Amino acid sequence: MMLTPDDILTHFPITEPFKFVDEIISLEEGRVTGAYTYPPDAFFFKGHFPGNPVVPGSILQETAAQIGLIPLGLQCLLQYHKTAVAFDKEQLLASKMDDLFYLVSSDLAFKSVVRPGERVMVYAEKIFFKLYKLKCNVRIETAAGQPVASGIMAGIVNIENILKQDIWRQE
C-alpha cells in the first residue's frame, strides 16, 4: 500500500515555525522528492548572519530529514514484515506521529549556501530499512539545479510508541 504526497502533508508531524516542507513532488517505492522555500523573514536569518543571511547547515539537514526520512519512514512502516506484521495506513496516519521518528545520523557534505527566499529541492533514496532503522542517500539542490549538499542520513522508528498506540495488525 503506497502513501500519497497528500497523505504525508496532511498528517505531517512537525508544524510551523519548524516545518520545512512545502511540497512532496513525488513519492515512489524507496524514493521521494520534495521542495521548500525559505521565507525571507524566517526566524534564523536574523542571527545567521547579520547583514549576510544564509540558511544554517543544521536547518538544511532538518529540511532533508523532513522531506526525505519522514515520508520514506512512513512508507517503509507500511511495507515492513509483509508476511507477518503490517501497519494499517489509516491508523498509522491518524496516530500520534510527533514521537515516531528520530534522526540518528547525518553525514552531509555542503557545497553552496542558500539565501533567504530560495527554493531547494530534496531528493532521497532508501539504502535500507531494517530493524526499524532507515538509511538514505540524500541530495539538496537549488531550484536551478545547483548542488547544495549531499550525503547519507539515517533515522530510527520509535517502535515502543507504535506498540503503545496499537496501530499494527497481523496479516
Catalytic machinery residues: 48
Angle subtended at Cα 86 by Cα 89 and Cα 158, rounded to the nearest 5 degrees: 85
Q: At 165, is the secondary structure helix, strand, or coil?
A: helix
Q: What are 37-45's contacts with CB under 8 Å, separation 24+?
A: 37/117, 37/118, 37/119, 37/120, 38/114, 38/115, 38/116, 38/117, 38/118, 38/119, 38/120, 39/116, 39/117, 40/116, 40/117, 41/116, 42/17, 42/116, 43/17, 45/116
Task: State the Rg of the chain over Cα.
Answer: 16
